[in-house]
Amino acid sequence: MLKDEYESGRLFNAPEMETNYAEAKRVASAAAPRRSISVEELAEKVLEGSRQHIARAITLVESSRSDHRRISRKLLRILRPYSGKAIRVGVSGVPGAGKSTFIDALGLRLIEKGFKVAVLAIDPTSSKTGGSILGDRTRMGELAASDNAFVRPSPTSGHLGGVARATRETMIVMEAAGFDVTLIETVGVGQSEVAVAGMVDTFLLITLARAGDQLQGIKRGILEMADVITVNKADGDHEAEARVAARDLMVAMKLISSDPLAPRPPVLTSSALTGAGLDEVWQAILDHRAKLEADGELEARRAKQQLEWLWALVNGELQDALKRSPHVKEVTADMEAGVVSGELSALEASSEILRALAKDFPDLVWSSEDPAPAG
């Protein structure tokens, strides 16, 4: 019944997503629809800022079902002109740095300043349920309770090195709904930072001062990506340590770049517990964005990100097509067995799998979809 409604261009009324993604999908599928609405009406409600409809729109764009993907593309075409004005910030850091607590405190501070804050908390995916493991909403309790904030935990789904493939599309929904600050917290497993840096304006790195080895565990590439750095938990007995760590990081940043004239990110200290330094961190983020705008780099950066998104979508759709393909499933076991036994080379087996996938091309999502409007 739900499938019929989607294919006829109608949308079921799914309940708001809970922390466990798999459980939310089960509830949404089992619940009787209250009232079907068109994609156009859903878009209108999102633009009005309806939290219920924002949640429904995100549930739709996060879905990997081909019929849902077709409808989500139509929804995003409507919403896209209303997005793009938000301040986009990626937040990453070493384990135990207190990213979620920092975001909770910073988000509340931004709301006091008049901002509407969207938080996309990228969460590891459970291999058993497909749901989010950490459940960042539980660690951002105050922020999640605010009417001017929307905290969305999102399972990684195995795409883009830990970043949910639908994160960019969720950003469009949130920005169209009027949220003017988007904070994306990474799962912190290396490659996810690269993906997040490719969809934000400013990349904030949160670190700690402990035992003089604060640089361990921070890959050089991540330091190079950072636009702003803060040493968190600079309170109580650790305040002095944090200041020393900040100085050490400033020295480290000089050593990382071989260009003495290259701009270096500011290294600050902060405490999510006391609120000290949060305003300074936010001002550093604003200063970085202002410089990008003044130099004409913000537009160029976002254009480059769109190209990266283009190929990420193509690669993601092809991976999904491989997993769904009945023809690929028919030959996969034999191909893998042949490679293991040595009867087939990996090259020969991959060619057979791709030939099997080619049989499905007429049935792929994009082949039966109306073309996107020009421009």
Q: By three-state DSSP, how is residue 369 classified?
A: coil
Q: By three-state DSSP, how is residue 149 classified?
A: strand
* In-domain check, residue 138: yes
Average model confidence (pLDDT) across the chain: 80
* In-domain check, residue 371: no
What the block records as the tokens of 9 is 């261009």
Determine the Cα angle at 253 with ends 250 and 259, to 5°: 130
* In-domain check, residue 114: yes
Residues 89 and 176 in one domain: yes
Question: What's the confidence (pLDDT) of residue 39?
Answer: 94
Name the domain count of the chain: 3
* In-domain check, residue 369: no
Calpha distance 33→99 (Å, rounded): 37
Looking at residue 203, which CATH number applies to its domain? 3.40.50.300
Confidence of residue 336 (pLDDT cuts 50, 70, 90): very high
Percentage of the chain exceeding pLDDT 70 = 74
Highest mean pLDDT pick, 1-5, 115-119, 163-167, 245-249 = 115-119
What the block records as the tokens of 62 is 């996060």
**Which residues fall within 8 angstroms of residue 68, CB to CB, at 6 or more apart?**
6, 60
Residues 185 and 258 in one domain: yes
* In-domain check, residue 161: yes
Give the HSE-up count for residue 287: Cα atoms under 13 Å, Cβ half-sphere: 13
Residues 214 and 285 in one domain: yes
Residue reference for tokens 């002095």? 240
Residues 73 and 193 in one domain: no
Beta bridge partners of 88: 182
pLDDT at 353 over 50: yes
Q: Which of 203, 264, 271, 216 minimizes the C-alpha distance to 243? A: 271
Highest mean pLDDT pick, 128-132, 169-173, 205-209, 357-361 = 169-173
* In-domain check, residue 67: yes
77 near 372, Cβ under 8 Å? yes
Residues 54 and 173 in one domain: no
Per-residue pLDDT of 279-317, as tens digits, reads 999 999 999 999 999 999 999 999 998 888 888 778 877
Amino acid occupying residue 347: L
Residues 107 and 51 in one domain: no
Domain stops at, among 270, 295, 320: 295
Residues 65 and 195 in one domain: no
Calpha distance 196→164 (Å, rounded): 10
Cα 251 vs. chain centroid, distance in angstroms? Answer: 31
**Which residues fall within 8 angstroms of residue 245, CB to CB, at 6 or more apart?**
207, 208, 209, 214, 231
Confidence of residue 32 (pLDDT cuts 50, 70, 90): very low
* In-domain check, residue 374: no
CA dihedral 172, 176, 178, 180 (to 10 degrees): 40
What the block records as the tokens of 130 is 């497909």
Per-residue pLDDT of 247-279, as tens digits, reads 888 888 877 776 777 788 999 999 999 999 999
Residues 128 and 178 in one domain: yes
Per-residue pLDDT of 181-238, as tens digits, reads 999 988 665 667 777 888 899 999 998 886 344 455 566 777 888 999 999 999 988 8
* In-domain check, residue 141: yes
78 near 39, Cβ under 8 Å? yes
Q: How many helices (H) and strands (E) does the chain have?
A: 15, 9
Residues 103 and 17 in one domain: no
Domain stops at, among 295, 313, 331: 295
For the ranges 272-276, 278-282, 318-322, 348-352, the lowest mean pLDDT is seen at 318-322
Domain stops at, among 295, 311, 332: 295
Question: What's the confidence (pLDDT) of residue 219?
Answer: 63
Per-residue pLDDT of 163-187, as tens digits, reads 556 788 899 999 999 999 999 988 6
Residue 137 CB coordination number (10 Å): 21
Residue 322's domain comprises 301-364
pLDDT at 14 over 50: no
